Amino acid sequence: MKVLKITGLIVLTMINLRAYAQELDANLQLRPRYEYRNGYKTPIANGENAASFVSQRSRLNFNFQQEKLKLKLTLQNIRTWGDVATTSTADKNGIAVFEAWGQYEFSPNWTARLGRQVISYDNQRIFGEIDWAQQGQSHDAAVFSFHPKNHQLDLGFALNANAENLLEPKMPYNTNYKSMQYVWYHSSFGKINTSLLALNTGYEFEKAIENLEVDYKQTIGTYLTFKDKKWEGDLGLYGQTGKSTDKKVSAWYAGANLGYTFTDFFKATLGYEFLSGKDQDDASPVIKSFNPVFGTNHAFNGLMDYFYVGNHQNSVGLQDAYLKLNYSVKKWQFNLVPHVFNAPNKVLDASNKKMDSYLGTELDFTSGYTVQKNIAVSAGYSQMFASKTLERIKNVSDASNTNNWVWIMVSFSPRIFTLKQ
């Protein structure tokens, strides 16, 4: 009932504004997803059983535009089927604000956007929405954009606090960053697109008892894409420097893809990624492991999320060689992606002897079907063939167990109404 009241109030308020509005749009997304997790994120241990559940995202989006003004409000509820009793008087997670921003156009080339918003650039390796996660990812930020033809320059700023404090808190801020500033530049020259990113993130930590400091880490790099008839490719190069928890940072990343479209239905892409890491016997305090920061990491390094999805941070790094095979026909899409993982840095066994660098092979198969304009069904099966080295990194007893993951998802995304003046 509370949700209906909130939604009704928003709709009535915006409808009353339509005398001044050029356009008001409302749309809905309902996205239930079943998952069977048998060794997801880490090899399943002996004696453990697989988990299965259904999660659901429910989103209500409002978009309002009046001359040079744009507003967006997205409300969402994230739940697992059964996490609230059938007779419960309250929801476990309630209603959250995913996006709530206002944008003003100073001129055709200059805009400013303030509020809770998605920040996503390029292939989402450093900045992404993380749309696979039911909750997604959004930031409280101010973004100023200059976008003449074939060019775009964005300046972003964020400052986070845990409350409207009267005095500086004595405990570290408990989110992923305290402050953020970035510059992103993109240009198009014929068949080549170039992006440059300089990101500065400040992380708060307790250097001594009730003595808080903020260390700043910089991520700087470029992303290039090329497309010509049947060939296309991309290259990403990033380095990280600065400090984190009073330790020096020195890390880097390289990734490349080369794809060829054989027919209107079939495409193949060969790719490789290198994320720097640190030898397990390296006693240096320097942080040498690359961190993708705000990237959509589920889209990289295998769908079973063994690497960089809430794990594998400050570790031995990763080499990922893969082949993407895509086939599309009418309303169907099929994808098969084998990954071969290796550790670029030294992994030690229980007796401190160097282990083989091979971590394992993962096979990801996904398919999708468009039922109609606003309904899509997708599904996937993944299996990880883990090595003894991966077993050591993940600290499990037997990586030879069958590790697989199955999912199926239905997405309903109807437009509720559009009002134009």
Instruction: List, for residues 348-405, the tens digit of each pLDDT value.
Output: 999 999 999 999 999 999 999 999 999 999 999 999 999 999 999 999 888 788 999 9
136: left (phi over 0), alpha (psi -120 to 50) or beta: left
| pLDDT confidence of residue 209 | 80
The counts of H helices and E strands in the chain are: 2, 20
Residue-range domain boundaries for the chain: 103-401
pLDDT per residue as tens digits for the range 41-95: 999 998 899 999 999 999 999 999 999 999 999 999 999 999 999 998 889 999 9
Q: What is the mean pLDDT of the chain?
A: 93
pLDDT value at residue 5: 55
CB 74 within 8 A of CB 60: yes
Question: Quick one: pLDDT at residue 2?
Answer: 53
pLDDT at 175 over 90: no
Q: What are phi and psi of 297, to 5 degrees?
A: -70, -20
pLDDT at 10: 53
Instruction: Please indicate whether residue 110 or residue 189 has the higher confidence score (pLDDT).
Output: 110
pLDDT tens, 276-330? 999 999 999 999 999 999 999 999 999 999 999 999 999 999 999 999 999 999 9
For residue 86, the tally of other CB atoms under 10 A from its CB is 5
123 CB-side CA count, 13 A: 20
- Rounded to an integer, the average pLDDT of 250-272 is 98
CATH 3.90.1150.10 fits 103-401, yes or no: no
- Residues 27 and 380 sit within 8 Å (Cβ to Cβ): no
In whole angstroms, what is the distance from residue 362 CA to residue 340 CA? Answer: 7
Write out pLDDT tens, residues 216-235: 999 999 999 999 999 999 99
The identity of residue 227, as a single letter, is: K
Q: Rounded CA gap, 342 and 339, in Å?
A: 10
Provide the percentage of residues in the chain whose pLDDT is more than 90. 84
* pTM over 0.85, yes/no: yes
Please name the amino acid found at residue 136. Answer: G
In degrees, to the nearest 5, what angle opens at C-alpha 115 toward C-alphas 109 and 119?
70
Phi, then psi, of 411 in degrees rounded to 5: -120, 120
Per-residue confidence (pLDDT) for residue 14, from 0 to 100: 53
Q: How many residues does the chain have?
A: 421
365-381 pLDDT, tens digit each: 999 999 999 999 999 99
Buried b (16+ CB within 10 A) or exposed e, 121-148: bbbbbbbbbbbbebebbbbbbbbebeee
Q: What is the CA radius of gyration of the chain?
A: 23
Q: pLDDT (tens digit, 9 = 90+) per residue, 1-25?
A: 455 455 555 555 555 544 554 899 9
DSSP3 helix / strand / coil % (the chain, rounded to 5): 5, 55, 40
DSSP class of residue 44 equals P
For residue 6, what pLDDT is reported? 52
Name which residue leads in pLDDT, 174 or 84.
Answer: 84
On the 0-12 / 13-18 / 19+ scale of CB atoms within 10 A, 364 is: buried
pLDDT of residue 9: 53
Closest by alpha carbon to 244, among 181, 280, 200?
200
Q: Do the Cβ atoms of 417 and 26 come closer than 8 Å?
A: yes
* Per-residue pLDDT at 400: 81
Output the pLDDT for position 49.
95
